[in-house]
Amino acid sequence: MSQTNGNSPHSERPVENVVIVGSGPAGFTAGLYAARANLSPLLITGNDYGGQVTITYDIENYPGFPESLSGPELVEKFKAQAEKFGTRVEFDYVNEIVVDRHPFVVRTTGGAEYRTLSLILCTGARPRYLDVPGEQELTGKGVSYCATCDGFFFRGKDVLVVGGDSAAEEAIVLTRYASRVRILHRRDRLRASKILQDRVLSNPKIEMVWNTVVTEILGQNGSVSAVRTLDTVTGATNQLKTDGVFIFVGHLPNNDLFPGKLELDADGHLITDRKLRTNVPGVFAAGEIQDKVFKQVATSVGQGCAAAMSATRFLEELEAGHRVDWHADPREFVAERAAVPA
């Protein structure tokens, strides 16, 4: 891929083919695919190295690792494989992107400035925390934010689920493993659909604990043992013994770089099409910054792959001299469907 010259005062630095922002499964997979396409990608890790997978217990549902491994171990394997083929990894934090001119500009808190022909944004999301004593210290030791990821490790155990509609959905997942699931909800009723409410309230493994919030998570011998609670109506305090606490009070997309520059949905996620394109030509996104449905390691990996392939094709078109309308939204949302015989 040829590189173009820009008019930046940093023009002595070569223009990158692709800069990847974020170091979770999507980011490292994008790096791997871009590197194998001989693009010599630059990946800037951000402060949350490895993303949410690093706070997961043993990972048993990622293909190819039947013996399971921890989240941090998987991230290191992702990194090693991406670097093996030529991904350059910089431990820095991006604090500004400029996408209204081309090449794009990426600036970091470390004082670096990069110009790049394409961008792949994999900044991810983070759980909304309760921010109560014991939560941070016991994360990964009984405190979890993913029933699909960690429910298996609570087989036959007693767990608490904190939250509202999302908590109700995740509680149903946890009944496959846990012997008892109690949902702690701050109000006296759920707002979920009637179907979901019926499924929750009729499940013999699920108990509702209404008008209750968690004020502290307690540990014993290095793992969760109980929570302290407050009744939102009476003000009474209580202590509930448990083997684990699953927290589902929402996720926050890591989107500080994007308002006013890239299109976001009402929840703050980047809006991409099936080719992982954003509304700016040459800017792509993968992982939980644009995926609020699946939010799994395997799906983030697939999206990182797709984003890198789309970026590669974009760069091929640039090199071939194809005209790019920088003011036109490149996304497509409605694909033509073949007629189905009556």
Pick the catalytic residue: 48, 122, 150, 305? 150
Our separate counts of H helices and E strands in the chain read 7, 20
Q: Write the CATH number of the domain with boundaries 135-248.
A: 3.50.50.60
Residue 9, both tokens: 């005062």
Confidence of residue 338 (pLDDT cuts 50, 70, 90): low
Pick the CATH number of 19-126+251-319 from 3.40.50.150, 3.90.700.10, 2.60.120.40, 3.50.50.60: 3.50.50.60
pLDDT above 70 (res 5):
no
Cα(56)–Cα(71) distance, rounded to whole angstroms? 5
Does the annotation count 149 as an active-site position?
yes
pLDDT recorded at residue 54 = 81
Domain boundaries of the chain, sorted by first residue: 19-126+251-319, 135-248
Single-letter amino acid, residue 299: T
Residue 208, both tokens: 């509702």
* Pairing of the two strands 283-285 and 119-121: parallel
Cα(6)–Cα(95) distance, rounded to whole angstroms? 21
Pick the catalytic residue: 149, 243, 291, 305? 149
SS3 214: strand
pLDDT above 80 (res 141):
yes
Same fold, 19-126+251-319 and 135-248: yes
Distances (CA, A) of 149 to 44, 172, 173, 230: 26, 14, 10, 29
pLDDT in tens, 63-112: 999 988 888 899 999 999 999 999 999 999 999 999 999 999 999 999 99
Confidence of residue 263 (pLDDT cuts 50, 70, 90): very high
Cα(13)–Cα(5) distance, rounded to whole angstroms? 9
Mean pLDDT within 198-212: 94
SS3 298: helix
Cα(223)–Cα(138) distance, rounded to whole angstroms? 6
Does the annotation count 150 as an active-site position?
yes
pLDDT recorded at residue 339 = 52
Confidence of residue 251 (pLDDT cuts 50, 70, 90): confident
Pick the catalytic residue: 48, 122, 146, 305? 146
Q: What is the CA radius of gyration of the chain?
A: 23
Q: Which of 6-10, 47-51, 186-190, 256-260 has the lowest mean pLDDT?
A: 6-10
SS3 155: coil
pLDDT in tens, 108-123: 999 999 999 999 999 9
